[in-house]
Amino acid sequence: MPLLSRFVVLLFTVLAVPALAASPAPQKALPKPEIPQSLMQVQLSFAPVVKRVAPAVVNVYARTVVQQQVNPLFNDPLFQRFFGVTPEMRQRVQQSLGSGVIVRSDGTILTNNHVVQGGQNIVVVLSDKREFKAKVVLADSRTDLAVLKIDTKGEKLPTIPFGDSDKLSVGDLVLAIGDPFGVGQTVTMGIVSALARTGVGASDYQFFIQTDAAVNPGNSGGALVTTDGKLAGINTAIVSRTGQYAGIGFAIPANLVRRVLEGASTGGVKLPWIGADGQAVTSSLASTVGLSRPGGVLLKSVYGPGPVGRAGLKTGDVILSVDGTPVDDMQSLNYRIATHKPGDTVKLHVWSNGKARDVQAKLMLAPEDPPRQTTTISGRNPMTGAKIENLSPATADDFGFGTDAKGVVVVSTAPGTPADGYGFQRGDIVVEVNGAKINRVGDLTRALDSGQGEWSMIVNRGGRQMQLSVRG
């Protein structure tokens, strides 16, 4: 410790002595030390909790067969033409490793979507080393969660019951259980370091429990458990410069996980929609709208027929809390809404026209208006091979766009097509072609067909507008 720091500590200690001496407080007798009579009195142990929940944590292996060229030189068209050869392909097996949690005794398992995404052969290994082929019942990329099912032949498997993640507090002890690096089931302990972490980028619904319990690659999909043996969340991501544990891990809260599990029984995850887009209220924004302190979500756009619009809110209003729980940014607002069901009514505490008030908003699914009208572009134009859809509130919600997004969205591009060659990507919004505004799929197909060998296009990608000019 630097000398100055030591001096400051000692100074405060010394100054505290006369104050104590001036007005002595009555002394309480200290409890008499006792000799520990049991192991539990000697040390704190989480063994009983681990013994109860660990059998419900499994390993998940996802195997994918991919085609790989033997020699990368074969990619060169000149090389192919000169030597008259075609690319030689061979199969290669890719395997991803993760963890999972048994949440129903019939063999229903929760894991991360990124663990099983693209997997053609998924195997679940129980804690007793038995292996089962697993079927993906539901995969949701927005929440990065997937529901698997194994056939237990009627055997009842151990489970971990759900806890209420909203009751967690910073400082609570938690256990992380999973299979890091494939070494075998591992249990680590830590505390809840923070709640409501956003901006992590692991999923569309960014609202995470942060913990310092050691998690590493392979822990994804495993359990974050409270000391009373309840599921607090699904371990999902870490922050690290090296890719290994650095003291910061993130878990998807159990209350959102429960909603995804419900979707496995109803044919898909149907998360409600708020019908608005907004931004965090900073100190400067707070003074502008008349709030005494920063906090809440300032509405930038409101979809009139949506829940917020029907509740009477408008652009410039601030949502301060949902059902009494404060919200600080759009991610936390979306999370609070996502833990409800379509048709539920929530109480919003809002700041509007310089006054605080409460309003009731009935939640709904984002409407498909206009219909998606999924179309694959064909013909002689730069977008041939692109699959496109109309932008509706439903498609905008799927892609994470704001409510004010306009145009036609690219869903995918087929490899080797003009659309692929010109660099069109999933999520690109075509706004304008040859000066014509694009609002529907029909607008885009007509504009492309009438291009007569020249196309000037405006495309919105990630909030940035790009101009593409093609001649040919």
Find the catalytic residue in 99, 114, 165, 193: 114
The three-state DSSP-derived secondary structure of the chain is: CCHHHHHHHHHHHHHHHHHHHHCCCCCCCCCCCCCCCCHHHHCCCCHHHHHHHHHHEEEEEEEEEEEEECCHHHHCHHHHHHHCCCCCEEEEEEEEEEEEEEEECCCEEEEEHHHHCCCCEEEEECCCCCEEEEEEEEEECCCCEEEEEECCCCCCCCCCCECCHHHCCCCCEEEEEECHHHCCCEEEEEEEEEEEECCCCCCCCCCEEEECCCCCCCCCCCEEEECCCCEEEEEEEECCCCCCCCCCEEEEEHHHHHHHHHHHHHCCCCCCECCEEEEECCHHHHHHHCCCCCCCEEEEEECCCCHHHHCCCCCCCEEEEECCEECCCHHHHHHHHHCCCCCCEEEEEEEECCEEEEEEEECECCCCCCCCCCEECCCCCCCCCEEEEECCHHHHHHHCCCCCCCCEEEEEECCCCHHHHCCCCCCCEEEEECCEECCCHHHHHHHHHCCCCEEEEEEEECCEEEEEEEEC
Nearest to 396, CA basis, from 363, 422, 365, 425: 365
- C-alpha pair distances (Å), 174 with each of 18, 232, 234, 373, 455: 43, 8, 12, 47, 58
Phi and psi torsions of 341, nearest 5°: -110, 150
Neighbours of 295 (CB within 10 A): 18
Among 414, 410, 404, smallest CA distance to 428 is for 410
Give which of 269, 299, 266 is closest to 203, Cα–Cα. 269
Told to judge if 179 belongs to the known catalytic residues of this protein, a careful annotator would answer no
Exposure on the CB side of residue 131, measured as CA atoms within 13 A: 7
Cis peptide before 371 (omega within 30 of 0): no
- Residue 49 CA, distance from chain mean position: 28
Q: Which position among 144, 204, 317, 398 bears the catalytic label?
A: 144
Locus of tokens 């995918």: 412
114 counts as catalytic = yes
Q: Which of 220, 321, 332, 392 is catalytic?
A: 220
Asked if 443 is an active-site residue, the reply is: no
So which residues are the catalytic ones? 114, 144, 220
